[in-house]
Amino acid sequence: MAGLTVGFGEYTHAIVRGVPASLPKEALRMNEANDDVDLARARREHELYVGVLMHKLGLQIVDLPVDDSLPDSVFVEDAAVVCGDTALITRPGALGRRKETEIVKKALTDLHLNIVEMIDESATLDGGDVLFTGREFFVGLSKRTNQRGAEILADAFKDYAVSTVPIYDALHLKSFCSMAGPGLLVIGSSDGAQKALKVIQQMSDHRYDKLTIPDDAAANCIYLNIPNKGHVLLHSTPEEYPESSKVFERLKDHMLIPVPLTQMAKVDGSLSCCSILVNKRREM
């Protein structure tokens, strides 16, 4: 198994895509009874999110054009998995989301990444089901991602072990977990999250430190290692998840940046969903 990736969390670019007008009424959601999405507020929150990546963290933003015919297209993470110089263009599990990959593929090609396309029609993979720890991949087997998708990912990233994790009560693996630093896993407290954690621990040769938080949704964070800033963690706000925010405050070595995503959460969106992070420093 490969050792910890040098430069884990280091990124130079973020691919993002604006909020389509169709999102409030047409975006997919697990719970149809969810509150109505306030489109103007969703767009303000997304602008703030992009602003943090660009102005606070210094990333170069690749801003893809909004497409109202693709109501879920703000969630660019599902369209590709990027590790090192390779980008795997996924085959999203929801049929209506397959076209989202076209413009994402072009953007990643323009960044001169090695493009691998998932063309096997029996495979499905959403990027939200893919957790890269810096040492290995875990792939959630969910309603959106199947075993064949995980196998193709393993072929694309041969340097790393790939293990699968059954997902039962959530949309994606990263709906209840993410990385908060090298070797540090953030995990929610629900039964489903804790069962997944046990699988991760059983499948891995590496022992991860873990930060358990009360709210599954708040366990989706974005970790970055930024020059002159060090460990940075974008996480949900105290207004959304006050108890989970108190747990994040224990991370004394991190720059903690709360970022609201109240409206996207109503259609199962989370922080990592809204960007694809790329490190192109080696060419600069």
> Region 156-160: what's the mean pLDDT?
97
Catalytic residue among 83, 177, 221, 273: 273
DSSP 253: T
Segment (H or E) for 181: strand 177-181
pLDDT of residue 5: 60
Please answer whether residues 150 and 164 qualify as being in contact, where contact means their C-beta atoms are separated by less than 8 angstroms. Answer: yes
Residue 284 has pLDDT above 60, yes or no: no
Task: Name the residue among 176, 96, 69, 95 with its Cα closest to residue 129.
Answer: 176
Catalytic residue among 13, 46, 83, 172: 172
What is residue 135's three-state secondary structure? coil
* Domains defined along the chain, listed by start: 13-283 (3.75.10.10)
pLDDT digits (tens, 9 = 90+) for 36-76: 999 999 999 999 999 999 999 999 999 999 999 999 999 99
CA angle 11, 14, 15 (to 5 degrees): 145
Q: Is 141 exposed, middle or buried (0-12, 13-18, 19+ CB in 10 A)?
A: middle
Residue 1 has pLDDT above 50, yes or no: no
pTM of the predicted model as reported, rounded to 2 decimal places:
0.96
Q: Is 112 a catalytic site residue?
A: no
Residue 223 has pLDDT above 60, yes or no: yes
Residue 33 has pLDDT above 80, yes or no: no
Average pLDDT score, the chain = 95
Query: Distance between CA 203 and CA 145 in Å, rounded?
Result: 19
What is residue 211's three-state secondary structure? strand
pLDDT digits (tens, 9 = 90+) for 2-11: 455 668 999 9
pLDDT bin (cut points 50, 70, 90) of residue 34 is: low
Residue 281 has pLDDT above 90, yes or no: no
Q: Is 172 a catalytic site residue?
A: yes
Residue 283 has pLDDT above 90, yes or no: no
β-pairing, 177-181 vs 184-187, is: antiparallel
pLDDT bin (cut points 50, 70, 90) of residue 237 is: very high
Task: Name the residue among 257, 269, 259, 214 with its Cα closest to residue 233.
Answer: 257
CA angle 63, 14, 177 (to 5 degrees): 125
Residue 156 has pLDDT above 60, yes or no: yes
